[in-house]
Structure 1
Amino acid sequence: MTKQGHRLQIKSCWRIADLNLGVGAGATLLVLAAVTLTEAVLPQRQDADLKIRYRRDRPVTQKAFREMLAGHGLRPQSVTQHVEAEVLEYSATVEGFGAKAEALRAALRRDPTVLGFACQPHKA
C-alpha cells in the first residue's frame, strides 16, 4: 500500500470514530431528556411516617383509623397502637403521601378527638 493509501485509511478511521462519538453523545442526551421528562410528568410516590394521638375517652378503632387513611388516598404499610394515660396513639408508615398531605393535615386539625399529630415524609 502506498503512503497516500495509508493516509486515506487513517482519515477514514478518524471520520468513523468522530461519527461514533457524535451518535453516542446524541443517544445519551436523548436518554437523559427522556428520564427528565418522565420524572416531571409521572406522579412520584412518597412515603411518610404518621403519628396521630387521640383522646382515650373517645376511642378510635384501628379499622376506623385505616378507613380514614384510605379516605385520603393513603395506604398504610403497617399500623401500631400505643396507649398511655389519656392518649391513644396510632403510628403508620403510609404510601402516597405527597400531594395529599395538606388535606390530611387540615382534616386532623378539624377533628376534636385528635390531640396532636406528626407527619414525617421520607426523604426522596
Structure 2
Amino acid sequence: MLIVDDDPDLLSLMAETLDLEGYRVDTSTNGVRALDAVEKVMPDLILLDMKMPVMDGAEFAKRFREAHDHEAPIVIVTAADNAHRSANEIGANGWLGKPFDLDSLLEIVASQVGAADSG
C-alpha cells in the first residue's frame, strides 16, 4: 500500500495504524515521489491526498492511470466538501473525508484490499 500525503503527522498516523493492522505500507509526500515509488513496487492500494505541493493528487492520478491503467485502486483522502465528485473526476475507487476516525480508515482499506497481510 502507498500513502501519499504532505502532512507528516497524518502520514505517520495512517502508516502506523495500517502497519499495526498487518499491512505493508510505503509513504510519499507528493505525487512526483509517489510516481517514483510505484515504478519500484506496485502497491495494492494508493491512499492519495489531493492537495500537495510539487504534484497534486489529480495530476498524480492522471499520470498513474496513463502509465499503469488500473493496476492499483486509488482512494482519495481529502478535506474538500466535494470529495465524492473529486473521486469521480479522477477515476478513484473511493474516498475518505478528512478528518476521519481510524475505524473509517481501516474500513475503506479493507474494502479495497481485502486481507490485512497484503502489501
Which structure is higher in RCO with an 8 Å CA cutoff and minimum separation 6?
A: 1
Question: Highest Rg: 1 or 2?
Answer: 1
User: Is TM more than 0.5 here?
Assistant: no
TM-score, structure 1 normalization: 0.24
TM-score, structure 2 normalization: 0.25
Which one has the bigger strand percentage? 1
